[in-house]
Amino acid sequence: MIERLHTSNRMSKIVKHNGTVYLCGQVGAGDTVTQQTQDCLSRIDKLLAEAGSDKAHILQAIVWLSDMKDFAEMNAVWDAWVPEGHAPARACGEAKLARDELKVEIIITAALAD
């Protein structure tokens, strides 16, 4: 069974299937990469909790930066957020994001919590 939460014509914020949680890409508010990453990760925490998971159950993360020069700044926030011993498989690349002011977008796939 597939369960979709917060569904619109374009997308669902959360899709659950076979014990796996898929989140749509999350962006954050703020002027800096640090602020946007912190807000983005806070949104991910809330969506994972709603789905019955948490950051310790993340399987994969895909991070898009509007400029790879922000890699270290984003990683400083990311590294403080990920629980020790629970780092997911992760990719990070540079991409033109949906709006010019966006600096980071993160896509998460996680397992449901036990």
Query: Which domains are present in the chain?
Result: 2-111 (3.30.1330.40)
**Mean pLDDT of the region 88-107:** 97
**Mean pLDDT of the region 23-51:** 98
**Mean pLDDT of the region 87-92:** 98
C-beta of residue 36 within 8 angstroms of C-beta of residue 28: yes
User: What pLDDT is recorded for position 62?
Assistant: 98
Q: What is the pTM of this model?
A: 0.95
pLDDT band at 114 (very low <50, low <70, confident <90, very high): confident
